[in-house]
């Protein structure tokens, strides 16, 4: 899968579409939203892992990516390119990052709906052209349209590149690449309109070595800009957290919340945490490679299975 099949939000704003288009777009856009929680940042090269996930064939043509660091840098520039790329509009630099992320979520939905409508128009034009040939052969208008529709359906059924599942649904996935960092973040995102469904909790007992070890950041769990953990990225009151030492990962914090809360929030209770260990012991002369090659497919497989369940 090439990078062109992954839809990312980089310096692109909320969709300035008419209400009818926006409402229909959001109604049809229901991706499975997931994030990755790295439990052992010193043993996993997070940038490589994220890249591998985004390039996995499992997500071919159906993966959308939201990057909180990207929208933060855009908001700081006070300009965002409007839908269609023809205009620019000013942006309030004080808007929450969660709100900017939802803007891009809406943009994804609207652009997808616009493509869907354009494809329907093109399909109708093609069907009419085929029907015209049947009419020339002597069929009536209704019979010609029915024959043309049947021919197109047969061609579409034989198309191996179709991403439609057996039950008629199109698989859609949304990857929150750089957030959330805490349970508070999860709730703030939900309040903005983004509901998290799955957290992939990844850990490894094998240290990175060589160039990959040098490439791994020492503070992998930290965000960028306004999303940086000690800067109060989403919620409030996190300025004092720096004095308390490293915070747990979002998966660990959610587990702890579920353990100590007698009546947990139903939304948080329904977030699925999939645990994946890669690997448990060194194998071969280059154990570092086990953190990168092949294992990302085992990581993303349950995401696909959850969508088709």
Average pLDDT taken over every residue of the chain: 75
pLDDT of the residue at 85: 41
Alpha-carbon distances, residue 263 vs 149, 259, 269, 273 (angstroms): 54, 10, 9, 19
Interval 99-122: pLDDT, tens: 999 999 999 999 999 999 999 999
Going by the DSSP 8-state scheme, the letter that residue 276 receives in this structure is E
Question: Is 50 exceeded by the pLDDT of residue 219?
Answer: no
More confident position, 222 or 68: 68
Question: Is 60 exceeded by the pLDDT of residue 284?
Answer: no
Percent of the chain past pLDDT 70, that is, above it, reads 61
3-state secondary structure of 54: helix
What's the CA gap between 287 and 157, in Å, rounded?
44
Q: What is the mean pLDDT of residues 122-134?
A: 95
What's the CA gap between 153 and 250, in Å, rounded?
46
Highest mean pLDDT among 7-11, 103-107, 295-299: 103-107
Going by the DSSP 8-state scheme, the letter that residue 206 receives in this structure is S
Beta pairing class for 88-90 and 79-81: antiparallel
pLDDT of the residue at 4: 38
Model confidence at 38, pLDDT cuts 50, 70, 90, reads very high
- DSSP strand E in 111-192: where? 173-176
pLDDT of the residue at 37: 94
Interval 239-273: pLDDT, tens: 454 555 678 999 999 999 999 999 999 999 999 99
Tokens at residue 291, please? 């953190």
Question: Is 80 exceeded by the pLDDT of residue 18?
Answer: yes
Q: What is the pTM of this model?
A: 0.73
195: left (phi over 0), alpha (psi -120 to 50) or beta: beta
More confident position, 282 or 39: 39
pLDDT of the residue at 297: 56
Highest mean pLDDT among 53-62, 179-188, 271-280: 179-188
3-state secondary structure of 30: coil
Question: Is 70 exceeded by the pLDDT of residue 40?
Answer: yes
Alpha-carbon distances, residue 184 vs 51, 98, 188, 234 (angstroms): 26, 12, 6, 8
Range name among 88-92, 106-110, 168-172, 301-305 with the lowest pLDDT average: 88-92
pLDDT of the residue at 267: 96
Model confidence at 34, pLDDT cuts 50, 70, 90, reads very high
Highest mean pLDDT among 31-35, 92-96, 231-235: 31-35
Question: Is 60 exceeded by the pLDDT of residue 50?
Answer: yes
pLDDT of the residue at 269: 94
Q: What backbone phi and psi angles, to 5 degrees, belong to 178?
A: -120, 15
Q: What is the mean pLDDT of residues 125-132?
A: 96
Model confidence at 51, pLDDT cuts 50, 70, 90, reads confident
Q: What is the mean pLDDT of residues 24-53?
A: 90
pLDDT of the residue at 171: 81
Contact predicate 15/111, CB 8 Å: yes
DSSP notation for 78-128: TEEEPTTSS-EEE--TTS-HHHHHHHHHHHHHHHHHHHHHHHHHHHHHHHH
Tokens 């709906």 found at = 113
Q: What is the mean pLDDT of residues 170-199?
A: 93
Model confidence at 218, pLDDT cuts 50, 70, 90, reads very low
């Amino acid at each position: 899968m090439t990078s062109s099949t992954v839809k990312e939000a980089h310096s692109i704003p909320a969709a300035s579409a008419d209400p009818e288009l926006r409402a229909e777009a959001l109604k049809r856009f229901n991706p499975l939203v997931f994030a990755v929680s790295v439990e052992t940042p010193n043993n996993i090269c997070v940038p490589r892992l994220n890249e591998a996930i985004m390039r996995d064939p499992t997500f071919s043509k159906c993966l959308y990516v939201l990057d909180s660091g990207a929208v933060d840098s855009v908001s700081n520039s006070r300009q965002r390119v409007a839908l269609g790329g023809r205009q620019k509009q000013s942006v309030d630099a004080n808007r929450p990052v969660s709100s900017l992320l939802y803007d891009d979520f809406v943009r994804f939905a609207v652009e997808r709906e616009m493509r869907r409508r354009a494809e329907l128009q093109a399909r109708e034009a093609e069907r009419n052209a085929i029907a015209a040939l049947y009419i020339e052969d002597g069929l009536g208008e209704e019979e010609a349209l029915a024959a043309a529709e049947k021919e197109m359906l047969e061609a579409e059924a034989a198309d191996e590149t179709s991403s439609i599942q057996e039950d008629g649904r199109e698989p859609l996935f949304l990857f929150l690449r750089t957030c959330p960092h805490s349970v508070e973040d999860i709730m703030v995102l939900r309040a903005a309109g983004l509901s998290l469904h799955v957290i992939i909790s990844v850990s490894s007992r094998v240290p990175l070595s060589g160039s990959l070890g040098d490439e791994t950041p020492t503070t992998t769990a930290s965000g960028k800009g306004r999303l940086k953990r000690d800067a109060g990225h989403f919620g409030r009151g996190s300025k004092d957290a720096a004095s308390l030492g490293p915070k747990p990962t979002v998966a660990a914090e959610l587990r702890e919340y579920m353990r100590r809360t007698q009546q947990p929030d139903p939304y948080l209770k329904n977030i699925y945490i999939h645990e994946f260990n890669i690997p448990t012991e060194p194998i071969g002369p280059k154990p570092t490679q086990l953190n990168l090659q092949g294992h990302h497919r085992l990581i993303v497989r349950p995401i696909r299975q959850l969508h088709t369940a």
